[in-house]
Amino acid sequence: MGGFALLSWILFLPCAGGLLLLFVRDGDEAGRRRVRLVAFAFSLATFALSLALYAGFRAGTAQMQFVEAASWMPQLGIAYKVGVDGLSLPLLLLTTFLTPIAILFSWEDVARRVRLYHVALLFLETGMIGVFVALDFFLFYVFWEAMLIPMYLIIGVWGGPRRIYAAVKFFLYTMAGSVLMLIAILWLYFAQGGQTFDILAHLDRPPDPALQGWLFAAFALSFAIKVPMFPFHTWLPDAHVEAPTAGSVILAGVLLKMGTYGFMRLAMPLFPSAARDFAPLILVLAVIGIIYGALMAMVQDDVKKLVAYSSVSHLGFVMLGLFSFNLLGASGGVLQMVNHGVSTGALFLIVGMLYSRRHTRLIADYGGIARVAPALSAFFVLTTLSSIGLPGLNGFVGEFTILAGAFQRSPGFAAVGAAGVVLSAIYMLWMLQRVLFGSRISQASQGLPDLSAREWAVLVPMAALMFWIGLYPKPLLQKIEPSAQAWLAQVGRRVLRVEAPVLGLPSGLPLGRGPASRRAPAAWAERLREGGRP
Amino acid sequence: MTIAFPQFHWAYLLPVILVVAGAVFILLWDAFFPQRERSFLVTLALAVLASALGASLAAQPGSEAASMGGMYLYDGFTRFVFALILLSSFLSVLLAAAQRSLDEAPAGDYLGLILFATSGMMLMAATRSLLMVFVGLEIFSLSLYVLAGFLRGQPEGNEAALKYFLLGSFASGFLLYGMALIFGAAGSVDLMEIAQRLTTHPPSRSPAFLLGLGFVVVGLGFKVAAAPFYMWTPDVYEGSPTAVTAFMSVGPKVAAFAAFFRILLAVGPRAGAELDAILWVMAVLTMTAGNVSAIWQSNIKRMLAYSSIAHAGYILVALAAVRRGSDLATGSFLFYMLVYALMNMGAFCVVVAAGARGGERTRIEDYAGLGYTRPALAAAMALFMVSLAGIPPTGGFVAKFYLFGAAVKAGFVWLPVIAVLNSVVSVYYYLRLVVLMYMHEPGEAPARPSLGPGWSYALAALLLAAVGVLNFGIFPSSFFELALRSTLLLN
């Protein structure tokens, strides 16, 4: 790696840009332009650096790469430690890819308080990257929470009419979940001897199974709210609908992935036996989320709300994949995280473009857009097809792999999940038909301008990514797969009783004594290994 | 009969001597040369506090020779607490100099009173003798009673002073009676001797001792504004001049908690498990009452009053952990107090600075749109609110992390869980201010009279607090190390 701390540069470059922006005046139009240019330049530079990271990332190993460590609070064994592996790399790229797009989109969309907006966006980027690369519990938690503030401002200052309600709800929901995780982290730390907050060290040494139930529950609650899983999803439609378009893109594209990433990086491998005990419950919630989200999306008359509920449904697929405990499900899950970020992000962008033209989000107000704005409509169709998983586009690869994985575990869940795919085709295509086609074209939609050059610049990279992942996902999958395999070994392993002092804890949750824990762990691992490789 | 005089160690006493001498000098100077510029006295007071801080940092706590017969005790704990108290007095003097409504008040009087109160707090924190605890407490309480009603023309100030005085004396009575009972049961006012006595005569057989301990808890609970003895807090905080409120929200708490710590460490382990339950319930009640009541406030000083009650509740968690012998507890308590002093005084500093153009902004609605009319001030306020709520990357988060870590280490399960859930509740009202500052449009275009002469003082205090809060959030290690090493000298 040499002397160049690439990962730290990626992590803190946006933050530095945000700090720099504090000294750029935005009083007049030239100043606002300057603010946008600086923000865009910094986010683009970050993306360029992350491409260099991608190029330098060695495929074929599950090791953490680009690891950097420095002492931070040695008294408690807290360190600044970052690194990427195949699980975090795609999400890191997604983050650095979406941020310049969001800034570019906001060029004309955000006209008020321009400086504060871009400062928040850049700080947010650092926070999101931090969550994906942190290898220390304390560091992870710092980024996890710190990222709430800029997002809260973005929703609350530049959002729609009910923005304050949505922003506060978003903040309180997420915070309520994550503080319990904080206690669980402390608990884990002291139960394991109080030596280190290093995530990798804890992954190597899962705690006593009696402890795992409670700790898993605390972590899972925090992540489930973020995903969001049914029934913790109620903040999502509010936040999505009220957030400005770029906020929705980031929210759907990256923030929700933090929840699934948390399950994958922390909750499941740290507490493997508890994860297996909880798996039936989580799988049930996941498929409920898939179906419920789809049904809710079907009855919305607001496009943005429809897309928001579709997120609940799509993220249910990711959870279904992760908790299938096999390689197909896991790598499908990672891929689906990226896919959802791309296609739902693009959907929000297009909805934002429609909104900026017509200032309404009601489906009924549209109709016949395809005739006045063909390019916009073409992108809309493409994105919709990607979202519902048409072969050849990105969505298909992820969903198919997940369903194959789920089928290996339990055909029942796979069948319900497949029903979700059908439902998603119904609500998305129906929406498309009502917005783009139809003979009636309302007075206000006459002479609607088609895509501007800036909007082309926003949508073309998104579309390119959809095709790339859909047609040639191999390079990406090659980098994901070793890590997914190693992950599988971690969640599938049997847990020895550890001799660390166990604090005076209440006995495990009733769930902790479920049938799975009685099953011989070795047989479990065996079965996983068989099922893991098709 | 010969009386054995304890040996005096001037280096250890110097901080207190400096503060007292400075207070007397300022009072006299103002009496003889009342026409002099106020800035001279302010500078003098700041210099006195800074040199006292320097003296206390220079005095290396070491052998038990520093104990001076138990009346005055200079250990690592004392040193850290001195630094805390002097820091909060320093900030209070800056605030008092910046506050417009104090412009016409006689500066020598309130500066002298602040210094006297400081000396009382220092004495209270640096002793092993119950008598000295009481003397210190009375010195700072009497000064604060006067300071609370310093703006004689304001009826709220009079109400605050009277209320504080009446209830405070009542609590002092409890404390003194409790100490007397302990003295009767244990035969000494020295905590070390009391502890020794308890080892040979278990307190379970001595109802007088337990009653006395209970009364002491009541008396100290009043001073730190713990439930259910916090009722005076919002009224007094609201009515007092803002600079004094800021001082009251930090200084007395540091001193009273320090004394609480010493008492608990000495007699706690032998006082039985009932004390555990009492501290547990007190902590939970205090933080919950503070946080829930703060939600409904429309006056920012009242809101901050309830918030400071809630923080007292969090600190009681550390006390409970210390009772259980968690070695992390003392360090995390000191670190928490340090961060709390900065963020809480910082918030009051914004209140003072927002009124720097005349007309105090005490209603929460007054802050609507502040993010656009005065961006730097609003950013500072947002920083302090975020820190008070315990959200990274601020000192408030790190402090809470250490504190709850100490509680978890002590084996508490529900206490830290309740505490973190409480901090979720607190997020609601802290963020309400952020909502108002950034998500509402400013009201009518404010008239912009010139800034008061004290503006630079407010700026200095604000910078000190903001830099501290951020620094402790990002690089807390060195100060935490210091706090961890600031241990108590028990015998």
Q: What is the pLDDT of residue A522?
A: 41
Cα distance between residue A268 and residue A266, in whole Å: 6
Cα distance between residue A438 and residue A441, in whole Å: 7
Cα distance between residue B470 and residue B465, in whole Å: 9
Which residues in B lie closer than 8 A to residue A153 (C-beta atoms)?
Answer: 438
Q: Please indicate, yes or no, if residue B257 is contained in any of the structural domains.
A: yes
Which residues in A lie closer than 8 A to residue B393 (C-beta atoms)?
Answer: 142, 146
More confident residue, B485 or B401: B401
Q: What is the DSSP string of A100-141?
A: HHHHHHHHHH--SSHHHHHHHHHHHHHHHHHHHHB-BHHHHH
* Mean pLDDT over the full length of chain B: 87
**A354 contacts A366 by C-beta, under 8 angstroms:** yes
pLDDT, tens digit, for every residue of A52-110? 999 888 888 888 889 888 888 888 889 999 999 888 999 999 999 999 999 998 888 78
Contact B405/A189, CB-based, under 8 Å? yes
Q: Please indicate, yes or no, if residue B490 is contained in any of the structural domains.
A: no
Q: Please indicate, yes or no, if residue B1 is contained in any of the structural domains.
A: no
More confident residue, B361 or B383: B383
Cα distance between residue A165 and residue B87, in whole Å: 39
Token output for A458: 């926003």
Chain B residue with Cα closest to A170: B428
Which has the minimum average pLDDT: A496-500, B79-83, B327-331? Answer: A496-500
Number of domains in chain B: 1
**Chain length of chain B:** 491
Q: What is the pLDDT of residue B284?
A: 94
Q: Please indicate, yes or no, if residue B4 is contained in any of the structural domains.
A: no
- Over residues B430-452, the mean pLDDT reads 76
pLDDT, tens digit, for every residue of B280-309? 999 999 999 999 999 999 999 999 999 999
Q: CB contacts < 8 Å between A and B, how many? A: 85
pTM: 0.90
Which has the minimum average pLDDT: A74-83, B136-145, B315-324, B452-461? Answer: B452-461
Task: Tell me the shortest Cα–Cα distance from B455 to chain A, in angstroms.
Answer: 23
Cα A161–Cα A163–Cα A169 angle in degrees, nearest 5: 140
Decide if pLDDT at B353 tops 90: no
**B236 contacts B148 by C-beta, under 8 angstroms:** yes
Q: Please indicate, yes or no, if residue B53 is contained in any of the structural domains.
A: yes
Q: What is the pLDDT of residue B6?
A: 62
Q: Please indicate, yes or no, if residue B3 is contained in any of the structural domains.
A: no
Contact A145/B397, CB-based, under 8 Å? yes
Which residues in B lie closer than 8 A to residue A172 (C-beta atoms)?
Answer: 424, 427-428
Contact A189/B427, CB-based, under 8 Å? no
Contact B404/A156, CB-based, under 8 Å? no
Q: Please indicate, yes or no, if residue B242 is contained in any of the structural domains.
A: yes
- Taking each continuous run of H as one helix and of E as one strand, the counts in chain A are 24, 2
**Is the four-CA dihedral B204, B205, B207, B212 of positive or negative sign?**
negative
Which has the minimum average pLDDT: A302-316, B186-200, B286-300, B414-428? Answer: B186-200
Of A75, A179, A187, nearest to B408 by CB-CB distance is A187
Cα distance between residue A426 and residue A401, in whole Å: 21
Cα distance between residue B130 and residue B67, in whole Å: 14
Of A72, A141, A143, nearest to B477 by CB-CB distance is A72
- The whole domain housing B151 covers 10-485
Interface of B with A (CB under 8 A): 371-372, 386, 391-393, 397, 401, 404-405, 408-409, 411, 413, 416-417, 420-421, 423-424, 427-428, 431, 435, 438-439, 476-477, 480-481, 484
Q: What is the pLDDT of residue B67?
A: 60
Q: Please indicate, yes or no, if residue B175 is contained in any of the structural domains.
A: yes
Token output for B299: 């006056």
Contact A186/B404, CB-based, under 8 Å? yes
ipTM associated with this complex: 0.91
Mark residue B23 as left, alpha or beta (left: phi above 0; alpha: psi -120 to 50; beta: remaining): alpha
Task: Tell me the shortest Cα–Cα distance from A11 to chain B, in angstroms.
Answer: 15
Contact B439/A167, CB-based, under 8 Å? yes
List all residues 6 or more positions away from B47 whose beta carbon is below 8 Å from its beta carbon.
Answer: none
Q: What is the pLDDT of residue A494?
A: 55
Contact B417/A74, CB-based, under 8 Å? no
Q: What is the pLDDT of residue B140?
A: 93
Cα distance between residue B359 and residue B376, in whole Å: 19
- Over residues B334-353, the mean pLDDT reads 93
Decide if pLDDT at B453 tops 80: no
Which has the minimum average pLDDT: A386-400, B144-158, B285-299, B353-367? Answer: B353-367
Residues of chain A with pLDDT under 70: 1-3, 493-534
Task: Tell me the shortest Cα–Cα distance from A217 to chain B, in angstroms.
Answer: 14
Contact A164/B423, CB-based, under 8 Å? no
